[in-house]
Every structure is written in structure tokens, then in C-alpha cells.
Chain A
Amino acid sequence: EAQVTQNPRYLITVTGKKLTVTCSQNMNHEYMSWYRQDPGLGLRQIYYSMNVEVTDKGDVPEGYKVSRKEKRNFPLILESPSPNQTSLYFCASSFSLGTLGDTQYFGPGTRLTVL
């Protein structure tokens, strides 16, 4: 089944404790992206990747890191989480090399709470 998977789905952590949210897609997509969703603000892009080893900042990259060592995986790293990073996170992928005309497929979401 073609899908985007994320883990964990739910996470409660404390300030400063490094964490990684994994994202994997099995559709051979080149474009992958991370978003956060906060009430009233819609989806805001954190980072995106147009291909392996190619990543770029989205609109809200502060406090996050990403890597794209393999085409299928795009982990999101919070080196020192803070309470303002409490949010719902979505990973998404699409086939195109950043032309933006292709449908994005979203993962199931990760609900993160930082105490």
C-alpha cells in the first residue's frame, strides 16, 4: 500500500530532551516536507527536501533540523525541544522535483507535547 508513515504518533516529552520524529514513504517520491499545524494558523512548512542530500528551510525552521540521506526517509530532529514546539506535525511527500504541481501525500501526524 502506498503510504507515508510517521513515528511516533504521540509523544510527551520535557524541555531540552532531544527527540526525532521519523518519516518514511514507499512511493519513490523525490519531494518531502515537514509541516506543523497550530490552531488558527493552518499548516506551516518547517523544512522541505527536493532530493537526497538536498534540504531547505520552510517558513518556520527555527529549532528544527532535518536530513535526507535516503530517498524514502526524512526525519525531523528537535535538538532541544521547547514548549512552543508543542504542535501537530505532518510529514508529506510528492513525486515532483519541487514543481509543486503534484499532489502531496500526508502521513498520519505526530502529536507532540513539550512540558
Chain B
Amino acid sequence: ILNVEQSPQSLHVQEGDSTNFTCSFPSSNFYALHWYRWETAKSPEALFVMTLNGDEKKKGRISATLNTKEGYSYLYIKGSQPEDSATYLCASGGQYGNKLVFGAGTILRVKS
């Protein structure tokens, strides 16, 4: 993998469903993996920054894991709510010099 890739591109779930998305990144020269939540008409807001293989972070119903050896991170949302509807962006750093490279994002829509 040369770029940061996110899947799925979009996701529609019902309120109460749990869901997860994937971020894949080049594993060589990895330094940090960021997750951001971006609501329409607002700025991206940081959810997590992870640097160590095996890292797990949690904020309320949202959690993330990191596997630097195989180059992927999962973001989990437990019991999705309509207010979770947003685009979720991941970004990886270290492989590209002093730059963060973002994936294209996963659009989540939660129906009530």
C-alpha cells in the first residue's frame, strides 16, 4: 500500500447498530495514525492519535485500534446514534516526511 485508504466509502446504519471502518496505511516508517470526525459545515475534530502497535483508544462509544505491523487501524462505534453521522477521516504520518496524509474518508449516516 502506498497511500492511506479507507473503507467503506460510505455506510448507512440504523440507530442502535454498531459499526466499524478500516484505515489502511503503509507500515514502513510509520510514526502516527490520526482519526478525525468531520461534520457537515464544520471543521474536522480530532478523535484519536495513536503511535504504538497494539494501541487501543476509547472516547465514549467510539474506540480505535492500531496494528502498525500490518498497516491498519479500525474505528468502532457502539450503538450508533443520529448525531454520529459524519465523515470519519484517518491520517498517517512518518512515511511521507513531515506530512500527514489523509484517506478519503468514510461517510456514516445513522437513521433514527
Q: Which residues of A contact B (CB under 8 A)?
A: 4, 33, 35, 40-45, 48, 50, 56, 58-59, 90, 98-109
* 16 further interface pairs, Cβ-Cβ under 8 Å (given A45-B102, A56-B98, A101-B51): A4-B43, A35-B102, A40-B104, A42-B104, A45-B99, A58-B99, A59-B101, A90-B43, A99-B31, A100-B99, A100-B100, A101-B32, A104-B34, A104-B100, A105-B46, A106-B36
Partner of B31, one of A50, A100, A108: A100
* Range of interface residues on B (Cβ < 8 Å): 20 to 34
Given A42-B89, A101-B31, A101-B51, A90 and B98 touching (CB < 8 A)? no
B46-83 interface bits toward A, Cβ cutoff 8 Å, 1 = contact, 0 = none? 10010100000000000000000000000000000000
Dominant SS among interface residues on chain B: strand
Interface set, chain B 1-40, CB cutoff 8 A to A: 6, 31-32, 34, 36
Residues in B lying within 8 Å of A, measured CB to CB:
6, 31-32, 34, 36, 42-46, 49, 51, 89, 91, 93-94, 97-105
B30 to chain A, nearest CB (A): 10
